[in-house]
């Protein structure tokens, strides 16, 4: 796609590219750990990140499917019978998040610490304004939380 000339559209495109870059790295880290998409959803709930109800609505789960996916994760000793992450599950999740973060950082290699601070300072008020509209929730199916 050609780069937008209009400043707001250019900002939107840049943020979209960064989000997609991080998302691709996260999918790669999940796949390398042997975690499928539905399993990733259940793990997010088991970790206390995203309530089950969010996934049920956003990802169209029924109780039987959720139970089947949970049973696979229990068999792998990633989730306990109580629906919470086991120590092994916590270790795996931490490793996946660490790999995701390290892969995402490559998009910022050209920026020094001061430039990164400027970027955060510029984008935080915009993120707060978007959240304040109510159109995008603070907690999403990917577990992102923005504290205004």
Other CB atoms within 10 Å distance of the CB of residue 46: 24
On whether residue 54 sits in a domain, the answer given is yes
Number of domains in the chain: 1
Q: Which pLDDT does position 12 carry in this prediction?
A: 87
Instruction: Give me 144's structure tokens.
Output: 């992102």
51-74 pLDDT, tens per residue? 898 888 888 989 999 999 999 999
Structure-token match 């270790």, residue found: 91
On whether residue 97 sits in a domain, the answer given is yes
Q: What is the DSSP letter of 66?
A: H
Q: Which residues of the chain have pLDDT under 50?
A: 148
On whether residue 59 sits in a domain, the answer given is yes
Q: Which pLDDT does position 28 carry in this prediction?
A: 97
Query: Which pTM does this prediction carry?
Result: 0.81
Domain that includes residue 90, residue range: 22-108
On whether residue 117 sits in a domain, the answer given is no
On whether residue 131 sits in a domain, the answer given is no
Q: How far is CA 136 from CA 47, 105, 127, 132, in A?
A: 22, 25, 10, 8
């Amino acid at each position: 796609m050609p780069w937008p000339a209009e400043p707001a559209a250019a900002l939107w495109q840049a943020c979209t590219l960064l989000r997609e870059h991080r998302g691709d790295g996260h999918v790669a880290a999940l796949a390398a750990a042997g975690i499928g998409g539905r399993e990733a959803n259940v793990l997010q709930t088991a970790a206390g990140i995203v309530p089950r109800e969010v996934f049920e609505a956003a990802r169209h789960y029924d109780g039987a499917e959720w139970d089947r996916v949970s049973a696979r994760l229990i068999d792998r000793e990633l989730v306990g019978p109580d629906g919470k992450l086991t120590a092994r599950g916590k270790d795996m999740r931490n490793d996946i998040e660490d790999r995701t973060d390290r892969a995402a950082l490559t998009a910022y290699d050209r920026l020094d610490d001061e430039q990164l601070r400027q970027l955060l300072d510029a984008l935080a008020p915009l993120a707060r304004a978007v959240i304040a509209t109510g159109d995008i929730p603070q907690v999403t199916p990917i577990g992102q939380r923005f504290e205004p």
